[in-house]
Structure 1
Amino acid sequence: MVERQDRIIGAAGHVAPLEGFESNVVKIEYHSDLKEVQSDEVLAALLSDSCQRAPFDRLSWWRGLARDCGLSPLLAVAREHEQAAILPLTDQAGHLTGLSNWYTFRFRPILSGDPALLTALARNLARRAHRITLSGVPEEDGSASLLKSAFNAAGWLVLGSVCDTNHILRLTGRSYENYIVARAGKLRTTLKRKSGKLETQVLARFDETAWAAYEDIYAESWKPEEGSPAFLRAFAQEEGTAGRLRLGVAYADGKALAAQMWTVEDGTAFIHKLAYRNAAKPLSPGSVLTAALMRHVIDVDGVALVDFGTGDDPYKRDWMEETRPRFRLDMFRPFDRRNWPVLAKIGLRRLAANAKRR
């Protein structure tokens, strides 16, 4: 039997016992300067596109959120040799939240090695925060269960609920023609009637003219004001350099009427942004352009999955076939007085809901 003499070495230099983790020394680090992470060979490699196959799990994504979206990063890291557990967070007076926003499809911990590292990190986080809220957590990869187990084991009270919906399409080997024939009759009729009136272009690189058209269209669309155009542009440029960008534009008589930004990697197409001019709605430029991009990612890129992000918008059901829940996990230090008013409100709401069901 291994004698447990493990310790956590905290970023502030303190040392604390780590129970139940059979290893040598686990280091706990907190990084508010992401340049420190970039200069760390192990962490930089783990958070690079060579290891992470979705943009939301990469250091470059978090740098963009910090640079262009006003988020203050706090990367919490538990590491032992080459193994690491990472939670990208932001701090609001002791209430930590996930380093994510409306551009992020889903939030999850990055784990390379023993899941007990995440428990060690959760235990140490109790010294920095009385509450942690993580939204958009998936369960199809086990992230929600992993986080709940780790924080429960570390003495946190964990409350979970569904907070959003993710629409997806699994191709299961279908061609575009096989896929589109199964769409609703109304959509197929629209595409048949309107496709001949529009010209579509799909670019696999960043293009200044096409991006200017996107920004101009977005300004005239039904969409709310863009949260951070600078973030989106920088992300599109990075993805274009990496060969992952799919930038689509639909034209009529030489005028751009609709634009969409997708990315493709590791067999998945992510639909990030779409917009069309309100005045052009009778021509259905958004639907025609979505069809053109679908044809490209299915028949040219050969993706296995299309991810339409979060939000239960009705139009997504025209194109996607499945939904996946996204969870909000609220972790509380149960004996911290700052949490008592919130926990009291949650308790009252649950009592009221139970009374209604009786």
Structure 2
Amino acid sequence: MRIAAPPTRHPFDRPGRPPILPASSVSEGLIDVDPFTLPPQPDAGPSRPRTAVLATPGETPVPAQPGLPAWCDLYFRAPGEDFFASRTWYDTVAAQALAPGQEAAPLVVGGVVLWPLLREADRIRSLTTPYTLSWRPLAVPAATEPALRAAGQRVGEALRAFPPTSLDAVDPEAAGLSFLLDGLRDAGLAVMEHAHFGNWHEAFPSGLRWADYLASRSPALRTTIRRKLARAGRETRFELLTRPGHALEAGIAAYVAVRARSWKPHEPFPHFDPALMRAAAADGVLRLGVLWDAGTGDPVAVQYWIVSGRRGFLLKLCHDEARRDASPGTALTALMVRGLLDDDGVRELDFGRGDDPYKALWVSQRRQRIGLVLASPRNPLGLMAVARHVAGRVRRRGLDTLKARRGAGR
């Protein structure tokens, strides 16, 4: 049974002009909507999610809700299975990591794929933040290759009339992504790829213990770890926090205090990390480690990880810059990795965003997260984006050729 949704208009519509996109529909309880047809929503304030609710079964669009719509649950994963594809992750992002004027705009096409998107004025992009480790469209497990390609084509057809769409932190190896991208191309969109950030990680055989892991590291790191752990054992107290409660709140306060005394730059969304730690603790996937000075009781190093899908993900770490000579961060990382391997039995360590030099000491593999720009050459802004992309590729090839010739002439 199909129920016609009330007509709505997207941001480019003008009075007296027919809507660019057709009226959407709701089919068998699954949302099947066009993503950009919602009138502006009231600002939900800094402490609540700002979510553009596009449609719910049998209802008209409604004002901002406390979290993404309930119909997204069909596509979300359990936090312990894939935390960064879970409701916990996206609700926290929507509540604490969106700038004024931004709102989450989840889109489901054909009951097959959820596209976690973000809307800002007339621009659409992925629902990603400076904290996102990986983003992808979330398909139902039974989605077939033809269904994914068709869903990609429908999204592409909707995007053709809009300015270029940016998708960030994309895992190029994500299951089903290639079929969705083929569908976008079928719709006439140019799909332009660029490097976004590096992700250092390492997978391990089942049952690997800390002693085995340490033996596989470089001699210099092994010596450093043993020396720093010995000093930390004399001068600090280690505490691991995983569950909600007063101890967790003290650990979060320690994180805030240490970060303020660290080398870290200004935090654009200072409430995000505390909110994510509380939410992850409620799901049982948080591993928050604190090193306390044994004499003063002050925190000197803090970091938190997420354990999900037999993998440990490092979200944030910081140490008191005044205690840098003691390397409390190194000692805390060793204590956390030991617990992840021996107690949680993780099979992969993921050190998150970026190519910080220290990461290659702890894990040995690097993979690339990419950005994608989706643009229609038939749209003036899209044509400009395609031209810039092509010009950039030509320039990079020219520079590479020049470097190779200079190298050969030495």
Name the TM-score class by shorter chain. 0.7 to 0.9
* Contact in 2 for aligned 1:10/1:27 (Cα 8 Å): no
Q: Does 1:108 align with 2:151?
A: no
Match in the other structure for 1:27: 32
* Contact in 2 for aligned 1:37/1:44 (Cα 8 Å): no
* Contact in 2 for aligned 1:9/1:26 (Cα 8 Å): no
Match in the other structure for 1:99: 127
Question: Which structure is richer in relative contact order (CA contacts within 8 A, separation 6 or more)?
Answer: 1
CA-CA distance at 1:75 after TM superposition: 1.0
* Contact in 1 for aligned 2:305/2:312 (Cα 8 Å): yes
2:287 corresponds to which letter in structure 1?
A: R
Match in the other structure for 2:243: 205
- CA shift digits 1:163-213 (9 cap, x unpaired): 211111212132110001111222211221121222322222241111111
Q: Does 1:47 align with 2:76?
A: yes
Q: State which of 338, 342, 345 in structure 2 corresponds to 1:302.
A: 345
Task: Out of 91-100 and 172-181, give the one that drifted further.
Answer: 91-100
Question: Would the alpha carbon gap of residues 59 and 12 (structure 1) be closer, same or farther in structure 2, given more than 3 Å must change?
Answer: farther
Q: Which runs of 4+ in 1 moved over 6 A?
A: 8-11
CA-CA distance at 1:215 after TM superposition: 0.8
SS of residue paired to 2:205: coil
Q: State which of 156, 163, 166 in structure 2 corresponds to 1:130.
A: 163
Cα distance in 1, alignment partners of residues 274 and 161 from structure 2: 34
Match in the other structure for 1:155: 188
Cα distance in 1, alignment partners of residues 307 and 330 from structure 2: 20
Q: State which of 371, 374, 377 in structure 2 corresponds to 1:334.
A: 377
Q: How does 1:251-290 map to 2 (within 5 A)?
A: 251-253=292-294, 254-290=297-333
Q: State which of 316, 333, 336 in structure 1 corresponds to 2:359.
A: 316
- Consecutive unaligned residues of structure 1, counting only runs of 5 or more, are 1-5, 18-24
Identity %: 26
SS of residue paired to 1:328: strand
Match in the other structure for 1:292: 335
Cα distance in 2, alignment partners of residues 100 and 286 from structure 1: 28
Cα distance in 2, alignment partners of residues 323 and 143 from structure 1: 22
Match in the other structure for 1:22: none
* Contact in 2 for aligned 1:85/1:121 (Cα 8 Å): no
Cα distance in 2, alignment partners of residues 78 and 10 from structure 1: 17
Match in the other structure for 2:395: 352
* Contact in 1 for aligned 2:67/2:94 (Cα 8 Å): no
SS of residue paired to 1:164: strand
- Consecutive unaligned residues of structure 2, counting only runs of 5 or more, are 10-20, 25-29, 36-50, 54-63, 403-410
1:76 corresponds to which letter in structure 2?
A: L
* Contact in 1 for aligned 2:149/2:179 (Cα 8 Å): no
Question: Would the alpha carbon gap of residues 39 and 255 (structure 1) be closer, same or farther in structure 2, given more than 3 Å must change?
Answer: closer
Cα distance in 1, alignment partners of residues 292 and 176 from structure 2: 42
CA-CA distance at 1:269 after TM superposition: 0.9
Question: Would the alpha carbon gap of residues 191 and 239 (structure 1) be closer, same or farther in structure 2, given more than 3 Å must change?
Answer: same
Cα distance in 1, alignment partners of residues 188 and 318 from structure 2: 46
SS of residue paired to 2:119: strand
Q: How many residues are matched?
A: 342
Cα distance in 2, alignment partners of residues 115 and 166 from structure 1: 27
Question: Would the alpha carbon gap of residues 220 and 26 (structure 1) be closer, same or farther in structure 2, given more than 3 Å must change?
Answer: closer
* Contact in 1 for aligned 2:152/2:181 (Cα 8 Å): no
Cα distance in 2, alignment partners of residues 29 and 10 from structure 1: 12
- CA shift digits 1:92-122 (9 cap, x unpaired): 4443211111111011001112313532442
Q: Does 1:167 align with 2:166?
A: no
Q: Does 1:214 align with 2:252?
A: no
Match in the other structure for 2:213: 179
Q: How high is the TM-score relative to the length of structure 1?
A: 0.86
SS of residue paired to 1:183: coil
Cα distance in 2, alignment partners of residues 66 and 26 from structure 1: 20
SS of residue paired to 1:105: coil
Cα RMSD (Å): 2.9
Match in the other structure for 2:408: none
Q: How high is the TM-score relative to the length of structure 2?
A: 0.76
- CA shift digits 1:219-249 (9 cap, x unpaired): 0111112222212111111111111110101
